[in-house]
Every structure is written in C-alpha cells, then in structure tokens.
Amino acid sequence: MNLSFSPRDLGDQAADDLFTPVDPSAFNAVSPPIFQTSLFTYDSYEAMEDVFAGRARNFIYSRGDNPTVREFELLVARLEGAEDGRAFSSGTAAITATILSLVEAGDRVVAVRHLYNDVYRLLVKLLGRLGVTVNFIDPSDHDEVRKALPGARLLYLENPSSFVFELQDIVALSAMAQEAGVTTVIDNSWATPLFQKPILHGVDIVIHAASKYLGGHSDTVAGVVVGTKEAIARINSTSYPYIGAKLSPFEAWLLLRGMRTLRVRLKEHERSGLLLADRLKQHPDIARVRHPAFQDHPGRATLSGYAGLFSFDLTPDIDVARFVNALREIRLGVSWGGPETLVVPAKVALQIPDRMTTFIRFGVSEQTVRFAVGLEEPELLWSDLQQALHAARR
C-alpha cells in the first residue's frame, strides 16, 4: 500500500479531490475497503525488525495505524493543505491529545472566550489540575491578545465560536502568535476545509469534530487533527498512543463515505441556513440572529461559505420551552452537521457547571436557541418555525 503523500494547496480543486481516494487501494475499488483488523503480521524476524526500527513502512497495530483510518487522515490533511493528520474516536479526544502534545505543567494557554464547552472544561478543570493556566480573550481586542501572547504556549481559536458565532481575524491573530513564538490551534468544525483553510492563513494546527459536517449523517462520533509532519509526529509520540482514543476502521469508512458528499451537503446547509437566518432576522418575535453573515468583521474574510449552524434570541414575549415543544419537524437535540434540523436552548445546554457564569462567559441569554439547519426542504422548516413562534407567545 502506497502511503506516500505530498502536501499541496488544493484551492479550487478541493471539491473534486473529495472523489479521489488518497489511496485507490486494491482493484481500484471506488469505495475503500474496511481493514477490520487489530494487528498486522510479518514474514520474518528481519521484516518485523525493519518495521519497528522505522526502516520499512508497514502497519503494526490499529491503536497506532490502520489503512482505512489512514486514508481518512490523509484526505482531511489534503483538503486542509496540511502535511499529515491523525484521527481520533471523538473531536474532544483530538483536542485533548493536541493540547497535551504542546503544554507542560506551568505553561499558559490563550483561548477565545466563547469556545466549545467541553474544551473550556478541559482547559480549566483537567489541565488546571495539572498546573496549566488559561487566559480567555476577546478575540476582537487585538491589544488584549497581543499582551496575553508573550510567554504563552498556544493560542486556541474557533472561527466562528460555539453558540454565539463570534468571528476571529485568524490572519492577524496567527501572525501575532507567530511573532510571539506561540503555536496557533483552530477548531475548524463549523466551516470544514471547504469553507475555510486556516493553514493557508498562518494557523499551525487544525482540528475537526468529524462527528459534525465531515461525517454528516449523525451516525458516528470522531475527530481529526492536521498540521505539519512535525506537529503530528509530536502528537504521535507524546499523547496519541497513551490516550488510546483511536478511530475504528468502520467509523473511518463512514467518514470517508460521508465526505464524498461534503460539497453538495454544505451548499445546501448554507443555502437553507442563510434563507432561514434572513427570515428570522425580520421576524417580530426574534430579538437577534447570531450568524457570521450578519457580522461586519475581518474574520469573515477567510470564510468562503457559511455553514448551517447559528443561533437566535427570542424576544421576552416568547416562552422558550413552549416554542421548542411546539416544533413539529424540527427536533430537540445536541450536536449538528447531519441531515436533521435541531434546536438546543442555551438555558438547557449551558447550565453546567454554574448557570450565571456560563451565560456571561458565552454572551448568551436565557432566550438564546442554537439552530442547526439540516437538509430538509427549507420552506417546511420555515412553516414549522412560524407556527411554533405563534404558539409560544405569552
């Protein structure tokens, strides 16, 4: 099996490349085989020794490398313009392994203030216990960021950020980090490599919750991190093997299957998302729509499209519980990126650990609802929203 790989800027070719497996594999099958095996064997002592000593390339054990998983890793790396990648059994595992590959006790992390809730808890709770400190910054306050960076180990971004969809100028922020000798890491799950390629804009390491748009079918939880060969080698040698959160070959296959339709799915999520965001913005029962398209911010420049995930605030005249209970087509549920349209009330989702501080940290109100627009007919979704708003008026 040929695993050679040369990074290149895919640019406009990215979408076409989704249909070309990194390794066409045996018999040029259009869909790759699932190597459902935990281990790989050798013909001789010498052959085994060559592989273990790094003189020959072969697979050893699927907690390390597996061909189906490897194909997924290299596909995401190619789409992001990265040299290498490493997949995990969840986005959170990818984030944990990446951060652990970079920080040591006593180090400091600079992170955007509205980041994914479990990453917030990872940084504050787990890494806090291990002697790592965090500065949460307002990413639009570049003076604040410039002051926080010197001496920090990494800058952690999410463009746009969870729940409030706050934009970040990743070109300016990663340039500042580079100047200060700080590694920039971004969670690019929202935009996917089709709508944002952070490495081309100076970011060092890109992470995806592949559970969302990359998989795209609400049937698997997975994560992936891509970057330079050195960055991935560091993860491979310092955290990945010991965390043990490897991706299964079958799930890698589901992700490869999902990614073959990434381009068409995202176009549809974008179209429906913008249509509904625009109508919600004009609706008298909606106080505010938090969608990157409505923000005049330099962080929009690196986005070549908009995903279907955003949030809105209901006016005080609307009862949140009655609104979500009145929805008929749209369902209540966490996660996003699949075919189903879902809502999550901020009041329910963000109550842990402490409701008020969490709300203040997130900049959301008790009237905020996160909205993941799926692949249904948008007019059907609009009718559902309208009737539920009507039913929920106090």
Which residue, judged by CB position, is nearest to ligand PLP in the bound state? 91
Closest CB to ligand PLP among 73 and 285?
73
**Min CB(185)–ligand PLP separation in Å:** 12
What amino acid occupies position 31?
S
Q: Does 248 bind ligand PLP (CB under 6 A)?
A: no
DSSP state of 61: B
Tokens of 77: 């790396």
**Min CB(379)–ligand PLP separation in Å:** 27
Strand-pairing partners, residue 227, are 84
CA–CA separation, 218 and 277 (whole Å): 23
Neighbours of 318 (CB within 10 A): 21
Q: Does 258 bind ligand PLP (CB under 6 A)?
A: no
Closest CB to ligand PLP among 295 and 335?
335
Pick from 101, 62, 117: which is nearest to 251 by CA? 62
Tokens of 87: 């997949």
Per-residue DSSP letters for 49-97? HHHHTTSS----BTTT--HHHHHHHHHHHHHHT-SEEEEESSHHHHHHH
Q: Does 187 bind ligand PLP (CB under 6 A)?
A: yes
Q: Does 320 bind ligand PLP (CB under 6 A)?
A: no
CA–CA separation, 31 and 261 (whole Å): 13
Closest CB to ligand PLP among 56 and 126?
126
Closest CB to ligand PLP among 211 and 239?
211
Contacting residue, 211, 220, 239, 248, with ligand PLP by CB under 6 A: 211
Closest CB to ligand PLP among 158 and 285?
158
CA–CA separation, 190 and 310 (whole Å): 10
Residues contacting 201, CB < 8 A, separation 6+: 170, 171, 174, 302
Q: Which helix (H) or strand (E) holds 337?
A: none
Closest CB to ligand PLP among 90 and 341?
90
Return the residues of window 144-183 that contact ligand PLP according to CB under 6 A: 158, 162
Q: Does 221 bind ligand PLP (CB under 6 A)?
A: yes
What is the per-residue binding string for ligand PLP in 83-122, x denoting contact by CB under 6 A?
-------xxx-----------------------x------
Q: What is the contact surface with ligand PLP in residues (CB under 6 A)?
A: 90-92, 116, 158, 162, 187, 189, 209, 211-212, 221, 223
